[in-house]
Amino acid sequence: MTRVLSFIKESVTSLGVANGLLVAVARALDEATRGRCRLFKYYFVAQPVPTGFTATFSRSAQTRIFMASAGEGIIKRLPRPPEVIARRFADGSVCFIAARAETLVGFLWIKRESYREDEVRCHYVLQPAAQVAWDFDAYVDPQFRMTRAFAQLWEAANAFLREQGCQWSISRISAFNAASLAAHKRLGTVHLHTGIFLVAGPVQLAAFSCYPYLHLGLGPGRYPQLVLRPPAARAKG
């Protein structure tokens, strides 16, 4: 009981009362059902693509930032299942890698037009497609998290997005991850919508702060479609 109360206290301190209590519920569900029932809460956010390089970017001799192809050896070192990596490349996703010699420092993925969520069942459609991209799975190895690797990855990604004519990048972040929330806040993100997913085996209940608001999926082929627009596009629509 003491351990549970300590976890709740820490969660409330780092995430606030609402999200702190919700993450405690999510953990209890996961443990009680041995992973068969899980609760997720996402914030959908947008960040503007800078018009030029910022002062945080530097091409150091130690860290190399590059766009990786599916066949490169370093791809096998990504801490993600091989089938997930293969599906991302097959769907047209682009992967930026930060490396020091042969050591993986971090990575960041970009997808244009739409993205099929791989943690819950949801299809995100980006509009206007020519101006918006989806960024996901930004990761820096713990031993490099006090370096500029995260900023360098984003500068490389932003350079790519500028070349593509993108003005905004949209992503989802877990409301239960304090570090991710802080990192995205530093990037100047704008909150768009909120989504909550309750998954119990093949059944998924999703609730959103925008259309379709509520969706019940009774099988693996049933998932909601969420149209996401950057702030300027939302104001016009």
Q: What CATH number does residue 198 fall under?
A: 3.40.630.30
Highest mean pLDDT: which range of 11-25, 46-60, 210-224:
210-224
Lowest mean pLDDT among 62-71, 182-191, 213-222: 182-191
Confidence of residue 4 (pLDDT cuts 50, 70, 90): low
Query: Which CA distances in Å does 220 have to 121, 122, 166, 200, 201?
Result: 8, 11, 32, 11, 9
Instruction: Give the Cα separation of 41 and 176 in Å (integer).
Output: 7
Where is pLDDT greater, at 41 or 178?
41
Q: Residue range 210-219: average pLDDT?
A: 96
Where is pLDDT greater, at 13 or 231?
231
Give the model's pLDDT for residue 3: 66
Tell me if 55 is assigned to some domain. yes
Confidence of residue 71 (pLDDT cuts 50, 70, 90): confident
Give the model's pLDDT for residue 212: 96
Tell me if 25 is assigned to some domain. no
Look at residue 232 and tell me whether its pLDDT is greater than 80. Answer: no
Q: Residue range 55-84: average pLDDT?
A: 82
Look at residue 168 and tell me whether its pLDDT is greater than 70. Answer: yes
Look at residue 234 and tell me whether its pLDDT is greater than 70. Answer: no
Give the model's pLDDT for residue 61: 57
Tell me if 7 is assigned to some domain. no
Look at residue 231 and tell me whether its pLDDT is greater than 70. Answer: yes
Give the model's pLDDT for residue 54: 57
Enclosing domain of residue 102: 36-236
Q: Which long-range contacts (CB under 8 A, 24 or more apart) does 17-20 make?
A: 19/175, 19/176
Instruction: Give the Cα separation of 196 and 104 in Å (integer).
Output: 33
Tell me if 143 is assigned to some domain. yes
Tell me if 81 is assigned to some domain. yes
Give just the sign of the alpha carbon dihedral 181, 70, 49, 237. Answer: negative
Tell me if 107 is assigned to some domain. yes
Give the model's pLDDT for residue 15: 75
Query: Which CA distances in Å does 107 have to 74, 94, 137?
Result: 11, 10, 8
Look at residue 58 and tell me whether its pLDDT is greater than 70. Answer: no
Total Cβ atoms within 10 A of residue 136? 20
**Domains in the chain, number:** 1
Tell me if 31 is assigned to some domain. no
Tell me if 148 is assigned to some domain. yes
